[in-house]
Amino acid sequence: MKLLLALALLLTLVTPPCVSQTAPAASKTVYQSSALTVTQVAPNVFVHTSFLATDTYGKVPCNGMIVRSGQQTVIFDTPANNPESEELINWISNELHCQIKAVVPTHFHDDCVGGLPAFARHRIPSYANAQTIAYARQRQANVPQHGFRNRRTLKVGRAKVYATFFGEGHTRDNIVGYFPDEQVLFGGCLVKELNATKGNLADANVQAWPATVQQVKQAYPQVQVVIPGHGQVGDQSLLDYTIRLFQQP
């Protein structure tokens, strides 16, 4: 008996305490057509993926985020064009049986604002960084309806989702979305998937980029799921990878 007690005491001394960690849930495709895919990445968070035709990179898959609480949703970034946006709106209405409270483009490029006219036709308000509105007007892109500076809090059902400008990076207006209830971050094009290249730098501030992502990381230390603007969903390692990528000469 004394030997057993001694062994038990020894195990408590050498065995590290159990640390509870919540790993990102496995993604599940819940809708797919030739033009649009919707993937569930958390109980109430979905990624919509559409395709943008480009001269430089060919047909590029583009991610956006859908956040749900109760019977309401908020969308970050439109699909790449109006038909794909109509398809997403119909899926949310007919399959999720939810109202779309708002759409939030995270910067002024077409993979974020390309479908805004479709949302406007359905009387869905759009909110964006005031700089995004200014740049969209300058570039003759689709223009969001309502502007904000630095941060906008949006109610969705009984929850809140945040749209925040942390600094320049992929563009000078890029924001991120964060849903604290499920610790999901939509990094948009500010955040790269693992092993991605630097990509389109036409409107970028490469020098500021790593510091901006570092601020995002510090603001949301509990984040579990990170959604990049293009490519595979991951965790905080996407933030670390993006920082390293743009710290390189």
Residues assigned a catalytic role: 107, 109, 111, 170, 189, 192, 200, 230
CB 172 within 8 A of CB 131: yes
pLDDT at position 123? 98
| Domain spans, the chain | 27-247
pLDDT at position 10? 37
pLDDT at position 25? 53
pLDDT at position 227? 98
The superfamily CATH assigns to domain 27-247 is: Ribonuclease Z/Hydroxyacylglutathione hydrolase-like (3.60.15.10)
The residue behind tokens 């749209």 is 163
Half-sphere exposure of 41 (CA within 13 A, CB side): 29
pLDDT at position 43? 98
3-state SS string for the chain: CHHHHHHHHHHHHHCCCCCCCCCCCCCEEEEECCCCEEEEEECCEEEEEEEEEECCCEEEEEEEEEEEECCEEEEECCCCCHHHHHHHHHHHHHHHCCEEEEEECCCCCHHHHCCHHHHHHCCCCEEEEHHHHHHHHHCCCCCCCEEECCEEEEEECCEEEEEECCCCCCCCCCCEEEECCCCEEEEECCCCCCCCCCCCCCCCCCCCHHHHHHHHHHHCCCCCEEEECCCCCECCHHHHHHHHHHHCC
pLDDT in tens, the chain (249 residues): 333 334 333 333 333 332 223 334 579 999 999 999 999 999 999 999 999 988 877 899 999 999 999 999 999 999 999 999 999 999 999 999 999 999 999 999 999 999 999 999 999 999 999 999 999 999 999 999 999 999 999 999 999 999 999 999 999 999 999 999 999 999 999 999 999 999 999 999 999 999 999 999 999 999 999 999 999 999 999 999 999 999 977
